[in-house]
Chains A and B, each alone.
Chain A
Amino acid sequence: MITRHLLLRRATALAVAGSTALGALVYLQLSGGVVAFAAGLLGPSVASPATDPTSGLQPPGQTPVLATGPPIVRTGGS
């Protein structure tokens, strides 16, 4: 009886702990979701979502060189 009682208590304790852990996990997921949802709703105003504004204007990988061959395209104002 004692053994069965101890097993029952341990099982109960494990169940409680498990449900607590599960509950905490659910809570974290929900709260995270709420935070994410709120962030989506409130949405911090940003100046440039497409590109990091601090990245600056980027030079080309290689500097252009003079060409002697026939051009294939024309750049100019439009």
Chain B
Amino acid sequence: MTTSGVEFPALGGTARVVVALPSRLDLAVTAVRHVVATIDATCSHFRSDSEVAVLNASGDRPIVVSPLLFAAAGAALRAAQLTDGAVDPTLGAPGWAAVELSRGARTIRLREGAQLDLGATAKSFAADLAAAAALRAGGAGVLVSLGGDIATAGEAPADGWIALVAEDHRGSLRDGGPRISFRSGGLATSSTTARVWTDGEPRQHRVLDPGTGDTVRGCWRTVTVAASSCLDANIAATAALVKGAPAAAWLATLGLPARLVAVDGQVWLAAGWPVAA
């Protein structure tokens, strides 16, 4: 089976859409673009007119929000719950428990000055939505990568979806590195090596430790996780960076195949992640 793919800018990074049936690529891409645009208008922190920006400016009162924002916020709070706050949509201050969601009224209330930051989960949440939408539109197996967070839907190609595992999603597919094949679910990587800037400061990246409010400075620099969805893979990968050394055992207990790269470059594998020959 021959796959066909295309790339385009999305959510501050690169989107890649690959379909198992080349004739369905246009339908899949149209569906993915629509989801990406909707997510951007709803969850972006880089737009003052996004729905989450308006919510953050609304103060301490219940605000009726769109079903999409409600679901995205729910996904972010689920991440906080499942990681004991290692992935926190309030970035630790005042803490995710200050975000109240009311299912019946579809409202969100931000108490104690909380600000909702969906940056840790929105991209993987969007990738899952986009893959599902692309499958519905094209009727063929599809893979959607948003900035290296990968979701799949439908039937995989005969040899599976083959991914190059790197520390930065930007780069060539011809680069060296481990390659894995997977048939369903999602794959995500969190890394402290991507988006490094200096500004006279030490190496900075965007992965924050909610416990300190500072950038993560743990024992791992990159963690890649496979899970049943891109969202779950991303939650686990980001939490592992924050949790530090105990993360390898945590991932193994959860049965989440993972590849962890220590700061010194040593590679650790968990829960059946394939061992390179």
Interface residues of A (CB under 8 A from B): 39-51, 53, 56-78
Contacts and interface: CB of A to CB of B under 8 A. Distances in A.
Contact of A77 (B103, B150, B168, B228): B168
Interface of B: 3, 5, 12-13, 16, 18, 62, 70-72, 74-75, 77-78, 81-82, 100-105, 107, 123, 143, 145, 147-150, 159-171, 173, 175, 178-195, 205, 222, 224, 226-229, 232, 235-236, 254-257, 271-277
Contacts of A72: 3, 5, 18, 143, 161-163, 173
13 contacts: A43-B104, A47-B77, A48-B75, A57-B236, A65-B180, A66-B179, A67-B179, A69-B181, A72-B163, A73-B143, A73-B173, A75-B188, A78-B12
Main secondary structure of the interface of B (DSSP, over half): mixed
A77 B180 CA distance: 17
Contact of B180 (A42, A57, A66, A78): A66
B168 to A, nearest CB: 5
Given A43-B105, A76-B191, 9 more contacts: A60-B182, A63-B271, A69-B179, A70-B173, A71-B163, A73-B150, A74-B148, A74-B173, A75-B148
Nearest to B97: A47
B257 A64 contact: yes
A47 B226 CA distance: 25
Contact of B163 (A42, A59, A73): A73
A46 B100 CA distance: 7
Contacts of A75: 145, 148-150, 163-166, 169, 187-189, 224
Contacts of B81: 47-48, 53
Contacts of B160: 65, 67
B147 A78 contact: yes
B102 A67 contact: no
A74 B272 CA distance: 20
A60 B228 contact: yes
A40 B107 CA distance: 10
B51 to A, nearest CB: 16
A62 B104 CA distance: 36
A15 to B, nearest CB: 39
Query: Which residue of A41, A66, A73 has the most chain B CB atoms within 10 A of its CB atom?
Result: A73
Given A57-B254, A61-B228, A69 B163 contact: no
A76 B223 CA distance: 9
Query: Which residue of B182, B236, B276 has the most chain A CB atoms within 10 A of its CB atom?
Result: B182
A51 B103 CA distance: 12
A48 B102 contact: no
A64 B162 CA distance: 9
A78 B123 contact: yes
Nearest to A59: B255
Nearest to B241: A77
Contact of B191 (A47, A48, A74, A77): A77
Contact of B256 (A59, A62, A66, A76): A59
A49 B227 contact: no
Nearest to B183: A62
Contacts of B236: 57
Given A62-B183, A71-B162, A75-B187, A57 B103 contact: no
